[in-house]
Structure 1
Amino acid sequence: MQRIHIIGGGLAGFTAAITAAESGAPVTVHEAHHTLGGRARTTEEGPYLTNEGPHALYRRGPHRTWLDRRNLLGPTTAVPPLEATRLRFRHRSVLRRTPPLALLRLSRRSAARVPADLDFRTWATAQAGEEGARLAAHYAAVALFHHDPGSLSAAFVQERLHRAGALPPEARYPIGGWAQIIDRMASRAWNLGVRIETATRIDTADLDALARTGPVVVATSLDAARTLLRDPTLTWASGRTALIDLALRTRRGDAFAVSDLDAPGWIERFTAQDDSLAPAGEQLLQGQFPIAPDESRSAGTARAEELLDLGYPGWRERTVWRREALATGRTGAVDHPGTTWRDRPAIDRGNGVYLAGDQVAAPGLLSEVSFNSGIEAALLALRATENHTTTDHTTTATSSPASTSRTPLDLKRA
């Protein structure tokens, strides 16, 4: 069989690599960085383990079952019942213990018959009134990372609202951060014979050379893929989000999470479900605050601090570590009215090149898009190798002199 090349060592890349290798194909993963994981990388900031923005696996998501069947999921945890009672809502500048009734009613509705060609604000207003629509849109931002959820496709937003508001909660959290899953996936790939090359930055000339030796799956961000494939059509809308990470000295009575219903925003105490993320006596908070294209990161940070004042009294004096970032186009696809996931950039780019990631034509919620597209890209690549006459092509991939091929034990987190 031809060798299948995977460009990108994140969730989509390793899903594709494992799928292809399980069918017996020779596979090489090319990762530009020295460490694996992409946006699923868990960073060690001193004693704190943080992801790039809040991360969670959703219980009904397809990749949870796929990972679990291969013993790749590892230990996960849910929000403890007592902590779940400490979810708070900012509504009309006041911290409340219960969500408005209109929000509850909308979150219970399935997205099965919600139109995709209508914006969520218009559709939800007809169901629950103008204020109910606004509150539901802001709450759904926890799974959207977008500054104006009401302007997006009604079907798209409602699916995320329904799953984010499910009871019991769907969210599950890998203990120790998402890098634990990536480490297990890398080990699984290695045991299947996948060659993993880190510090291998592929350019357009390298891509052309690789494509002559076998199918190529580009499992990078859409921006990187657009440059690599020299294809200006590889564009799709995403969010722009201010991220904040905080370590606070523990105080009894702090909220588990605070949802901002006055504007899109969410802050969560991740050590409530996984105390390994911070030292004893401290708690790790991560927040996301979508901002408009013309807003500064400081505007999102200011909103974060307002929410902290309400849900975490005395947080300034208790802060022992803080980090801020801006995520632009790195929070997954959003679908505008009249579009669905089928309208996003196609996985099959022709000439043996395939696309995987969280902004391409695959269904799912956030990271589920990466997972589904990774599997589809691998299956298409396998089909291409089956139709190929190996006598006309080589199956040996050559790596850049600057690259390094390592065992999973060598692939340490940064």
Structure 2
Amino acid sequence: MDHITVVGGGFAGLTAAISAAESSGSGRSGRSGGPGASVVRVTVLEAHRTPGGRGRASEGPYRAHEGPHVFYRHGPHWAWLRRRGLLGPIARLPVREGARLRFHRGGALRRTPPPGLVRASRGRAEEAPVDIDFHTWAAERHGPEAAVTAARYAAVALFHHDPGSLSAAFVQERLRRAAALPPEARNPVGGWSRVVDRMRARARDLGVRVETGCRVHALPEHGPVIVATSLGAARRLLGDEGLRWESGRTALLDLALTTRGGDPFAVSDLDAPGWLERFTAADPSLAPAGEQLLQGQFPVGPGESGAVGVARAEGLLDLGFPGWRERARWRRQSLADGRTGAVDPPGTTWRDRPRIDRGDGVFLVGDQVAAPGVLSEVSFNSAVEAATLALRRIDAVRLRAARRPYGTA
């Protein structure tokens, strides 16, 4: 029982492993097992040859992730990573670049957001109801047009084709944080993969064993297990069809272009949910000199193909990045289905999602489980909670063993 196995070496899995190892090695000997009790061993089993999950970067000179990745600086993982020196240097967006945010509205690119969007983004999440959809609630407060615009802007943190249909409280929290001034979104220099590298090194320094190329088909028989995979993979591994929650379907586009002056920093699509951002505006290291890396996400409906989202992306490129086809040096596109985090329909909150404690020493973490936060903050919060629960289970078993009369089985 003195061994915790973490299945999955993405951001959630590494967070859980580090949290468990730190708590185990910081004065835990003697807490409940008596003086000299052994610390807890932690092993991470990762199916791929490198850890990182969706935080892994593409191979080659372009450092793109599976979808746009940013940290929100007011999130709990920001402070946690920074205290441990894992966040690293942060890319700074020049003021002139930040001024190049454009809004696609009425078929044209505009420099300023519509007033209704600004008003809607100032509302606090606590004011929004859980059991009413965002569009109905926002339309009563700001008018139908502002409600539609605000919902589409919030899609940058939702990856959902119809944000207005989701719980008002859920959408408002993400809208407020996505539209905050100064911006909350921050990028580590070199991308998320650099953070993953530092997390892996931290885990190893703590004695965590990280095994890559290790695909798990059955749960280990001994010790607590933290399952840090996608919800679909966890469903198959645990044989639990109840492990389901709504997520988005989003066309992802990565594009490297030769550099050209005057290109926008980002384009928010207010005619339909979508976002296109030039990540090298803040961090030139993500692409070779003289080139720039764009990443976009364009949600598509249940009956639509990823090509529909890619076509919308190309329409924005035509408007904002003239001659982009001739300037293209690298391109990658995919469809993320159920891999963009949880979305909460009206009448539900994060508490209604699949619970972390699955019983019998099995704990579930990720971005679609019962933990608060925005996007990766859900993974982080669930990972810290799972590590705490796993250690408590070990303590409970030790305590029972210490109280068992000598000679009994």
**Fold match (TM-score > 0.5):** yes
The equivalent position to 1:196 in structure 2, one of 195, 198, 210, is: 210
Aligned to 1:56: 70
Aligned to 1:33: 48
| Identical-pair percentage | 67
CA distance in 2, matches of 1:268, 1:143: 13
User: Residue 211 of structure 2 aligns to a residue in which SS?
Assistant: strand
Aligned to 1:149: 163
User: Residue 325 of structure 2 aligns to a residue in which SS?
Assistant: helix
Residue identity matched to 1:37: G
Alignment of 1:292-311 (within 5 A): 292-311=301-320
CA distance in 2, matches of 1:243, 1:286: 7
User: Residue 9 of structure 1 aligns to a residue in which SS?
Assistant: coil
Q: Does 1:88 align with 2:102?
A: yes
User: Residue 387 of structure 1 aligns to a residue in which SS?
Assistant: helix
Aligned to 2:195: 181
Aligned to 1:277: 286
User: Residue 293 of structure 2 aligns to a residue in which SS?
Assistant: strand
How many residue pairs match? The answer is 386
Aligned to 1:14: 14
Aligned to 1:240: 249
Q: Does 1:4 align with 2:18?
A: no
How big is the shift at 1:391? 9.8
Runs of 4+ in 1 over 3 A off after TM superposition: 389-392
How big is the shift at 1:345? 0.2
How big is the shift at 1:390? 8.7
Contact 1:2–1:390 (CA<8 Å) still a contact in 2?
no
CA distance in 2, matches of 1:244, 1:47: 17
CA deviations 1:133-166 (Å, max 9, x no partner) are 0000000000000000000000000000000000
CA distance in 2, matches of 1:378, 1:47: 36
Residue identity matched to 1:42: A
Q: Does 1:262 align with 2:277?
A: no
Contact 1:120–1:152 (CA<8 Å) still a contact in 2?
yes
CA deviations 1:269-295 (Å, max 9, x no partner) are 000000001111111100000000100
Aligned to 1:220: 229
The equivalent position to 1:66 in structure 2, one of 80, 88, 93, is: 80
CA distance in 1, matches of 2:85, 2:124: 31
Aligned to 1:315: 324
User: Residue 42 of structure 1 aligns to a residue in which SS?
Assistant: coil
Aligned to 1:385: 394
Aligned to 2:145: 131
What is the aligned-residue RMSD (CA, Å)? 1.1
Q: Does 1:42 align with 2:57?
A: yes
How big is the shift at 1:213? 1.7
Residue identity matched to 2:322: P
CA distance in 2, matches of 1:86, 1:278: 20
The equivalent position to 1:328 in structure 2, one of 327, 337, 340, is: 337
Aligned to 1:400: none
User: Residue 217 of structure 1 aligns to a residue in which SS?
Assistant: strand
Aligned to 1:165: 179
How big is the shift at 1:81? 1.4
Please list every run of 5 or more consecutive structure 2 residues that lacks an aligned counterpart in the other structure. Answer: 25-39, 402-409
CA deviations 1:185-204 (Å, max 9, x no partner) are 11111011111111111112
User: Residue 256 of structure 2 aligns to a residue in which SS?
Assistant: strand
CA distance in 1, matches of 2:23, 2:144: 52
How big is the shift at 1:321? 1.1
Aligned to 1:348: 357
CA distance in 2, matches of 1:145, 1:61: 19
CA deviations 1:303-358 (Å, max 9, x no partner) are 00111111111111111111111100110000000000000000000000000000
CA distance in 2, matches of 1:357, 1:382: 19
How big is the shift at 1:35? 0.8
Contact 1:356–1:370 (CA<8 Å) still a contact in 2?
yes
User: Residue 289 of structure 1 aligns to a residue in which SS?
Assistant: strand
CA distance in 2, matches of 1:389, 1:249: 61
User: Residue 224 of structure 1 aligns to a residue in which SS?
Assistant: helix
How big is the shift at 1:78? 3.5
Aligned to 1:398: none
Aligned to 2:379: 370
Comparing 35-44 and 59-68, the one that deviates more = 35-44
How big is the shift at 1:42? 1.2
Contact 1:242–1:324 (CA<8 Å) still a contact in 2?
yes
CA distance in 2, matches of 1:324, 1:43: 12
CA distance in 2, matches of 1:354, 1:80: 42
CA distance in 1, matches of 2:392, 2:399: 14
Contact 1:27–1:195 (CA<8 Å) still a contact in 2?
yes
Residue identity matched to 1:324: Q
How big is the shift at 1:177? 1.1
Give the structure-2-normalised TM-score. 0.93
How big is the shift at 1:79? 2.3
CA distance in 2, matches of 1:119, 1:244: 29
Aligned to 2:111: 97
User: Residue 181 of structure 1 aligns to a residue in which SS?
Assistant: helix
Residue identity matched to 2:217: D
Contact 1:78–1:171 (CA<8 Å) still a contact in 2?
no
CA distance in 2, matches of 1:391, 1:339: 38
How big is the shift at 1:70? 0.7
Residue identity matched to 1:359: Q
User: Residue 145 of structure 1 aligns to a residue in which SS?
Assistant: coil
Aligned to 1:23: 23
Residue identity matched to 2:356: I
User: Residue 28 of structure 1 aligns to a residue in which SS?
Assistant: strand
The equivalent position to 2:295 in structure 1, one of 286, 293, 303, is: 286
